[in-house]
Amino acid sequence: MMNVALNSLHARDITYQLHPYTNARRHEEVGPIIIDRGEGVYVYDDSGKQYIEAMAGLWSVAVGFGEKRLVDAAARQMAKLPYYHTFSGKAHEPSILLAERLVKMAPNGLSRVFFTNSGSEANDTVVKMVWYYNNAIGKPEKKKFISRISGYHGITIASGSLTGLPINQRGFDLPLPMMKHVGCPHHYRWSEPGETEEAFADRLAAELEAKILEEGPETVAAFIGEPVMGAGGVLVPPATYWEKVQEVCRRYDVLVVADEVINGFGRTGTKFACERFNIKPDILVISKQLTSSYQPLAAILFSDKIYQGIADQSAEIGSFGHGFTTSGHPVATAVAMENLDIIEERGLMENAAIVGEVLQAELRRFADHPLVGEVRGVGLIAAVELVADKATKAKFDPFGKVGAKFFQQGHEHGLIIRAIGDTIAFCPPLIITEEQIREVVSRFARTLKDIEDFVATEFPTA
């Protein structure tokens, strides 16, 4: 008879599954935390232990876990039309209604929608669309993309090349040669002594212009950036940064792509972060909170100018030869419609602005803590960067060991956060209340106390 322990879900997971963003050898030793169910801002593991999900899953569960309306919306659509494609001029009601709704919600100038299954696929598609468009308008050399160090745009070959994080490129032979990177807009880490935010923004804009001129403006197609960087460490841009970057792009006929996969639908306290930072994109990419990740779905919104070029090219070739089996999936788009209804009816974008101020204020109480280098964020997205030396901003060596311990120890206190190196990130569901925010911060404080003891033992000179 097989040993029950060896046949447990825990053991079977170790035996059969390769996990994303996981040290596979360590996982063989420690195994998974198996999440069994969710309710509101909480999830529960298979032993019944409760956790506050302070990362909304993966920056994404806007309406919280266990929202019956989304379950019912999926069930209704499954019963009516569980699947149909959008190839060859076919359509169905949910995708049509969602496309119309997104155009009406989006910043001015974006008039068309293309659906994919994930943000990575969406940014990969953006690259192909821009190449296709430039071929259509007689600019076949205009193919290079510029993104930023520490930016995150996905993990396909193209989107992984746009990403500016070593972990997404080392071992994968990325980035592709037509993907270029410029400096990270993180004032705390990359400004020069005494440099103001605006002066830092001037320098970054000048760097972008120099990169465009170095590559040749006739070869640079687009600049892509998250209004607020997420996976790079919750990096809020310095004052005037986006205005100055856009000015450079317009000067050299470089398209502006705003990646709001994390930022969109109220996360930064406004409908889209483009509003907060005065970004006027040619292309907008959204996902995650679009369905609260109850269904895989992403969307690319783009200008009529780009649409006209693509449409002309598709007429010449005979088809726009790109798409996915599940592009605009009827169940996913139906769930998105219901999810957006909930966000609007319950004022969740407004809640993010109000409760977000509480999160920012509560975390900033730790600014004087000897292990805290910087507290940053906007709306309901925030981060606390831990450092070995507060005065010099020196990082721990080895980098990431403290963050990994914090992530692990947080589970002991029923707190799920994200460790990005030694930065602790927060991105709770938009439904979170002030009381629950304070509970998140209380659990964070208890974890930080444990980390003080860990640092004293493991880094005695820190």
- The pTM of the full predicted model, rounded to 2 decimals, is 0.96
Pick from 128, 132, 134, 184: which is nearest to 159 by CA?
Answer: 128
What strands lie across the sheet with 50-53, from one edge to the other?
35-39, 42-45, 50-53, 415-416
Give how far Cα 37 sits from Cα of 6, 10, 43, 48, 334, Å.
Answer: 23, 16, 6, 9, 23
What is the pLDDT, as a whole number, of residue 460? 81
Q: Are residues 273 and 252 in contact, defined by beta-carbon separation less than 8 angstroms? A: no
185-189 LR contacts (CB < 8 Å, sep 24+): 185/148, 185/229, 185/235, 185/237, 185/238, 185/241, 186/150, 186/229, 186/233, 186/235, 187/238, 188/373, 188/374, 188/376, 188/385, 188/393, 189/393
Number of neighbouring beta carbons within 10 Å of residue 300: 25
* Selection from 9, 4, 11, 7 nearest residue 30 by Cα: 11
Query: Backbone dihedral region of 21: left (phi > 0), alpha (psi from -120 to 50 degrees) or beta?
Result: left
Cβ atoms 229, 150 nearer than 8 A: yes
pLDDT at 4: 44
Q: Which residues of the chain have pLDDT under 50?
A: 1-4
DSSP 8-state assignment for residue 389: B
The per-residue pLDDT for 6 is 62
CATH match of 69-345 with 3.30.70.120: no
For residue 461, what pLDDT is reported? 73
Domain boundaries, the chain: 8-63+347-458, 69-345
Classify each residue of 332-345 as buried b or exposed e, where b means 16 or more C-beta atoms within 10 Å of its C-beta.
bbbbbbbbbebbee
pLDDT at 193: 95
Share of the chain residues as helix, strand and coil, in percent rounded to the nearest 5: 45, 15, 40
CB of 236 closer than 8 Å to CB of 423: no
What tokens were used for 156?
């396909």
Rounded-to-integer distance, Cα 222 and Cα 124, Å: 13
For the CA atoms of 87, 93, 94, 96, what is the dihedral angle to 10 degrees?
A: 70
Contact 256, 246 (CB under 8 A): yes
* Beta-ladder partners of 45: 35
> Residue 395 to residues 365, 398, 402, 403, 405: CA-CA distances in angstroms?
21, 8, 10, 11, 15
Cβ–Cβ under 8 Å, residues 246 and 205: no
**What pLDDT, on the 0 to 100 scale, is given for residue 462?**
59
Phi, psi for residue 71 in degrees, rounded to 5: -60, -45
- The CATH code of domain 8-63+347-458 reads 3.90.1150.10
The rounded distance, in Å, linking the Cα atoms of 149 and 194 is 22
